[in-house]
Structure formats: structure tokens, C-alpha cells
Structure 1
Amino acid sequence: MNTISKIITWKRNILASLAILLVLIVLNFYGVYTNKFYFLKPDNYIFPILSTVHFLYLYVVWFKISEEELPDPKMRNIEYVLYAIMIVYVFKIYDSIMVLNSVKEYREHVIPATFKPIATVTLVLYSILPILTIYTFWLRRRYVGIYNFENYNDNLNIWQ
């Protein structure tokens, strides 16, 4: 794991996570079957709303690592919410696999030429996102510290 942390530094991980989240938000509004964007479907707004928690967590991790601060209860709560959102990420991977495999069912219909490339890119990005998120949890533990709030006040030294 040490060699991976030299290749994928915490800054690269956060920037890659940000880029993947932004691309997935755009692709979330894209209909692969019709080659159109759908901004009026309420279902398309679920992932962007949930990803705001991920953006917030990435900001907090960046701030805590760059300022060399200790973890706090708010950071822990955001991370715990992100654990639940990881379930949505796994569902999106499953959903992307189902969409990609559904091309066999629609042989009689006109499917745009962009179907397979866009569906494959979406599947790959949704598959990378949980890996980067788990790696961010590991980086938080390594650079910021573990969540130990029982003796949190004893470890603070305001004179340093």
C-alpha cells in the first residue's frame, strides 16, 4: 500500500475523485438509449444531490491534511453518511451493468452508435469511484488520524 500512496498521492486521489464525480453527474442526465440529455426527470437529480456529501468530504479531507488538523465529530459524521452513499454507488454499478447488457434485448430497435462507448465509460467510472472513495478513507486514517474522541480533550494542547 505504501507504493500505491507514492503513485496516487492524496492530492491526486482527491482531484481524480472530483473529476470522476463531475463526469458522472453529467452522464447521469444522459440517456444512452436515446442519445439525449434529460434534465426534467427527477430521478436524474438523486446522484448529484448525494454526491454533494462526497464533495464535502473531499473538501474536509483536503483541508484537514493540508492544515494538519485532527479529525473531529463533524468529519466522522460526514464519513459515516458517505458509507451509506457507497451503497448507492454499488447500485449504480449494477444498474450500469444491466444497461450495458440490455443491448441484446433491443436488437430490433434503433440504438445510437454512442450506446456502447458511453455505457462502458459510465460503468468504468462508477467502478472506479468506490475504489477511490475507500482509498480516501485510508488516506484520511493515515494523514489525519483515527476517530478517537473519548480522550479527545486530553490530546489537545492549545499551547503548541
Structure 2
Amino acid sequence: MNTLSKIITWKRNILASMAILVALVVLSFYGVYTNQFYFFKPDNYIVPILTSVHFIYLYVVWFKIVEDELPDPKMRNIEYALYTIMIVYFFKIYDSAIVLNSVDVYGEHVIPATFKPMAALILVLYCVLPILTLYTFWLRKRFIGVYNFENYNDNLNIWQ
């Protein structure tokens, strides 16, 4: 894991996660069957709302590493919320795989030429996102520290 952390540094991981999140937010409005964007469907706003928690967590990790701060209860709560959001990411992986494999079901219908490349891109992005997120959790443990709040007040030095 140490050689992996030399190749994919914490900055690269956070920037790659942000780039994937931005791409998935844009692609959440995209309809692969019709090759159009749908901004008036309420279902399309689920991923952008949930990724806002992910963006906040990435900002907090970046800030804590740069400022060399200890983890706090607010960061822990955001990370725990991100654990539950990971379930939605895994569902989106499943859903994207179903959509990609449905090309045979709709064989006699007119499907745009961009169907397979876009559906594959969405599936790959959703598959990479949990891997980067789990790696971010590992980086948080390595650079910021574990969540140990039993003696949290003993570790504070207000005169620093």
C-alpha cells in the first residue's frame, strides 16, 4: 500500500475524486437511451445532492491534511454519512450495468450510437468512485489519524 500512496498521492486522489464527481453530476442528467439531457426529472437530482456530502468530505480531508489537524466529531459524522452514500454508489453501479446490458432487449428499437460508449463511461466512473473513496478513508487514517474521542480533551493543547 505504501508504493500505491507514492503513485496516487492524497492530492491526486482528491482531485481525481472531484473530477469523477463533477462528471457524474453532469451525467446524472443524461439519458443514454435518448442522447438528451433531462433537467426536469426529480430523480436526476439525487446524485448531485448526495455528492455534495462527498465534496464536503473531500474538502475537510484536504484542509485537515494541509493544516495538520486532528480529526473531529464533525468530520466523523460526515464520513459516516458518506458510508451510507456508498450504498447508493453501489446501487448506481448495479443500475448502470443493467442499462448497459439492456442493449439486447431493445435491439429492434432505435438506439443512438452513443449508447454503449456513454453507458460504459458511466459504469466505469461509478466503479472507480468507491475505490477512490475507500482509498480516501485509508488516507484519512494515515495522514489525519483515527477517530479516538475517548481522550480527545486530553490531546488538545490550547497554547499551541
TM-score after normalising by structure 2 = 0.99
Is 1:9 the equivalent of 2:34?
no
SS in 2 for 1:103: coil
SS in 2 for 1:96: helix
CA–CA separation in structure 1 for the residues paired with 2:73 and 2:159? 22
Deviation at 1:86, TM superposition (A): 0.2
Give the ranges of 4+ consecutive aligned residues of structure 1 lying more than 3 Å apart after TM superposition: none
CA–CA separation in structure 2 for the residues paired with 1:139 and 1:73? 18
TM-score after normalising by structure 1 = 0.99
Counterparts of 1:13-92 in structure 2, within 5 Å, are 13-92=13-92
Deviation at 1:156, TM superposition (A): 1.2
Deviation at 1:158, TM superposition (A): 2.1
Deviation at 1:96, TM superposition (A): 0.3
Name stretches of at least 5 consecutive residues in structure 2 with no aligned partner: none
Deviation at 1:30, TM superposition (A): 0.3
CA–CA separation in structure 2 for the residues paired with 1:159 and 1:152? 16
Give, as a single letter, the amino acid of the residue that structure 1 aligns with 2:11.
K
1:98-157: CA deviation from partner (whole Å, max 9, x where unpaired) = 000000000110000000000000000000000000000000000000000010010112
Name stretches of at least 5 consecutive residues in structure 1 with no aligned partner: none
Q: How many residue pairs get matched? A: 160
